[in-house]
Each structure stands twice: as structure tokens, then as C-alpha cells.
Amino acid sequence: MSIHLVSRFLLTSSIRHKNPKFSFTTLAVDKYWIHLEENNDPNIEKTLTRVGAKLDTSCVKEVIKRCSSTSTNQSHISGLRFFIWAGTQREYKHTSYMYNIACKLFRINQNPNVIRDVIEAYGFDNCVLNVKSFKIVLNLCKEARLADEALWVLKKMNEFKCRPDTIAYNAVIRLYCETGRMDEALGLMEEMSLVNLYPDMVTFVSMVKGFCDLGRIEDASRLFKVVSQQGCSPNVVAYSVLLDGVCRVGNLEKGLDLLQEMENQGGVCAPTVVTYTTMIRHFCEKGRSMEALTVLDRMEACGCAPNRVTISTLINGLCQEDQVEEAYKVIDRLVAVGSVSKSECYSSLVVTLLRVNKFEEGEKVFRRMLISDLKPDGVACSELLKRLCLKEKRVLDAFVLYNEIAKLEFATSIDSEIYSMMMNGLCTGSHLLEASKLAKMMVQKRVQLKAPYVQNVVEYLTNAGETELVSHIYKANDG
């Protein structure tokens, strides 16, 4: 078999073995597509319900794909109207994925006027719209990050006798906050009271985050008084957003004061593991990881148990500052109280040591884990094997270590790229016996050889006359 043919097979075999089958989705797509193409009734929403075909994600995606593929603006409008109509049906609901697909297909980011065209088309055809339809359009604006168009849609709701609610206002306010236009967002929040609506916690958190993102901490802090006067008491989410903002501008001491305030208030304002971890992360990022340990003390004193993210953050900060011994002490401390498992802690330590270029220490910890029957996680295994193959140029050691991991049944989470790196390294290093063993393991585990290693491995083995080994790889990629 030629190298070209083997390589081609390895890359395409999984596709060639799929048999085409009749799809009910295709039938539904055809029905909706033909209806949209041939229907002369301007109110297509009424007639779409008569099609009677099943709606699902695949169907909706294919219909709007066909509509967007034409060059006419009218077809695009029809496609978007189908998308909006589909989202209002009881048996179907758009996912965030579908909003993303719709924005890409109709290029709403590059052509925001299509939003206005669709709403104007509804008015021209005297169509009746409900609040749910407008919220779908607002979600499209949100996905495309179109704040001005979203505000325009919000104002248009009254023309269709649809009263905007708090959720609709929140969608627009959040867009203005995310684009840094806080004065307009503040104006909308004040406008809500004029139409007998009141900001809720979603409004408040969006505003606080928006001000913090711009470094306007005082404005964010003043909002706490404003919402309290309106009967909306701040909760831990709002406080945590403010705390993060305060720390991001470098005022860790004020962050600690805010943390103390949350601890004193308790209840819905009591700090969570996320709040404490955020505080710890900011100390570590500023090179003050030893001070971060005092936050850990407060965390445990308040009965809040650290999680895997907390310990990883602390370990990373300590190791970055060459405080490896302190990292060991923290692990012993947290394992003793049962906050995080020993395996999780040491897996985090291995990964961190490798990333801060303390390779020998990281490898030593990893091997101690294996001897102690501690299970390294997939990230730790992959990071160490990858480092051995690429940077340390010790592919044979990587293969031996992999065998130790496999014997202890820890290898299930190692991805196919690591296998491919080892196979490539073993072949180019002329370790054909080990390469043969690895190929058999890949066949057994149904691990496919990844690009860009396919061509190199197949070419090397073919030139070496290792037809049986090529056959093993062939089988692995055949699945």
C-alpha cells in the first residue's frame, strides 16, 4: 500500500464507513423551505403553523442555512422570521448555540440593519407580534452585541402593543454595560421606574460589573445604596462582582474590607467559595501569595470549604514565588480537614511545577504519586508526557512512564494527541519495538493517530519496511 493511500485512509476512514440514511429531519426541512419559497401570504407566521413538520435544532439550522445562502434580502428576512417563529413554538426552544448560528449565517454583526428590516417587515405586513417574539430578536442583538439595535427594538415594542418587561430592559441594559456605555445603561435603568418597572438583581449585577470593568468603582459602590432604597437588597453575587472590581484596580485592602462587610452581614451576602477564591487569586496575581493564606484562614473560620480551584490557585501562586515548601504545607493542611482529596492536590502541584519550569520536582512528585497509589488526573498525566516528548526529548522515558500509568488504569483520560506525539517520537528515534507495542495499545483503545503526525509516522514506517506496524495504525484509525 502506498504512503499516500495509507495517509488518505487514516484521515478519512471514519467518514467513509458512515452509511447514508433517510432522515425525517430532511423531510421537515424540505417542507418548511418549499413553504417559505412558494408562499405568497405576507403573514407567513400564520401559514407556517400549517406545515405540521417537526421542529428541532437540526431542522431550524438547515432551513435558515438555505435562506441565508441566497443573495436576496427578502430571503434573509424570511429566514429570520422563520427563526423567530420557531422560537415561539411550545415544542421547541432556541439554545444559545442556535442564536450563534443564526448570527453567523445572516452575518448580523456585519449587517445590523437586517434587525430593523425584519421588524419593519412585520409592521408592513400588519403582523401581530408578542413579547416572546421580541425577546428572541433581543437575544439575536445580544449574541451580535448590537446595543443600539436592541434599544431600537425595545422602543418598537409599544408600536406592536407589546409592553416591555424587566427582562427586555435587562437585555438592553446588559448590552450597554458590556460595551462600556454605562451612562446610557444608567439612563435605561432610571427609565424603568417611569414605566412602572423596577430593576431586579440581574439589572443591578450587570450595572455593577459594567462600572467595575471601566474602573468606576465609586459609581458601582453608589449603586448599592440606590437599589437598597428601591427595595432590592444586594446579595453575594453583587458583592462578589464589586469585590472583584475593587481588586482588579489594585486595591486589595479595600477588597478585604468589603469581604469583612460580607462576613458581618451574613445571610444572602455571606461570602461563598467563589468569593474567597477570587480574593485569593488577586493576592497571588500581585505576588502576595503568603498573604493569600490569611484569606484561607478566614475562609475556614467561616465554615466555607475550599475547592479544587482554590487549592490550584494557591499552589500556583506559591510556586510562582518559589514557595514550594509552603505549597506542600497547604496541601497537608487541606487534605487533613478533607476539603480536597490528596490526588487532586498533588495533581495540581504537578501541573503547576511543570508550568513554572520546575520539571525535575514535578516529575518527582508524579512518580511518588504512582508509588503511593494516588491517581494523577488527566491534565497531570498529559502535561508530564507532553513535556517528556517535546521539551525534554525523552520519548522512551515517556513511553515507559505511560506503561506504568496504564498498569494502574490511570490512562483513560490521556488524549489522542499525546499518543500521537509518543508514536511520532518513537518512530523517528528508531524505537520500533516500543512503537509496535504502542500501536497495538492504540488499536485496543481505539485511539486514532492525529494530524500532523500521520504522514510522518506512516512514511517512516513504510520506508523501514514495517508493514505490520502500519497495519496496526491502519486498524487504530479504522476504529
- Position 246 pLDDT exceeds 90: yes
Q: Establish if 333 belongs to a structural domain.
A: no
Average the pLDDT over 164-183 and give the result.
Answer: 96
Last residue of a domain, one of 379, 395, 414: 414
Domain total of the chain: 2
Task: Provide the grid cell at 422.
Answer: 509518543
Q: pLDDT tier at 204 (50, 70, 90 boundaries)?
A: very high
Alpha-carbon span 331 to 311, nearest angstrom:
8
Average the pLDDT over 163-188 and give the result.
Answer: 95
Average the pLDDT over 163-187 and give the result.
Answer: 95
Host domain of residue 95: 24-164
pLDDT tens, position by position, 30-78 = 888 888 887 667 788 888 888 878 899 999 999 999 999 987 888 899 9
Task: Identify the pLDDT of residue 15.
Answer: 39
* Main-chain dihedrals φ then ψ at residue 364, nearest 5 degrees: -65, -45
Cβ(81)–Cβ(55) under 8 Å? no
Reference 218, options 257, 246, 247, 256; nearest CA is 246
Last residue of a domain, one of 164, 197, 225: 164
Report CA 187 to chain centroid distance, whole Å: 32
Which residue's entry shows cell 459609581?
A: 219
Q: Establish if 354 belongs to a structural domain.
A: yes
Give the pTM.
0.80
Task: Provide the grid cell at 233.
Answer: 437588597
Q: Establish if 427 belongs to a structural domain.
A: no
Q: Establish if 8 belongs to a structural domain.
A: no
Q: Establish if 409 belongs to a structural domain.
A: yes
Distances (CA, A) of 68 to 47, 75, 297: 21, 7, 57
Alpha-carbon span 9 to 3, nearest angstrom:
10
Q: Establish if 369 belongs to a structural domain.
A: yes
Pinpoint the alpha helices (H) of 157-194.
Answer: 166-178, 182-194
Q: Establish if 185 belongs to a structural domain.
A: no
Last residue of a domain, one of 131, 164, 197: 164
- Position 299 pLDDT exceeds 90: yes
CA 223, 226, 228, 231 torsion-angle sign: negative
Q: For helices 73-87 and 131-144, what crossing angle results, to 10°?
A: 120
Task: Provide the grid cell at 64.
Answer: 435558515
Q: What is the CA radius of gyration of the chain?
A: 29
Distances (CA, A) of 263 to 210, 260, 270, 291, 337: 24, 5, 5, 19, 22
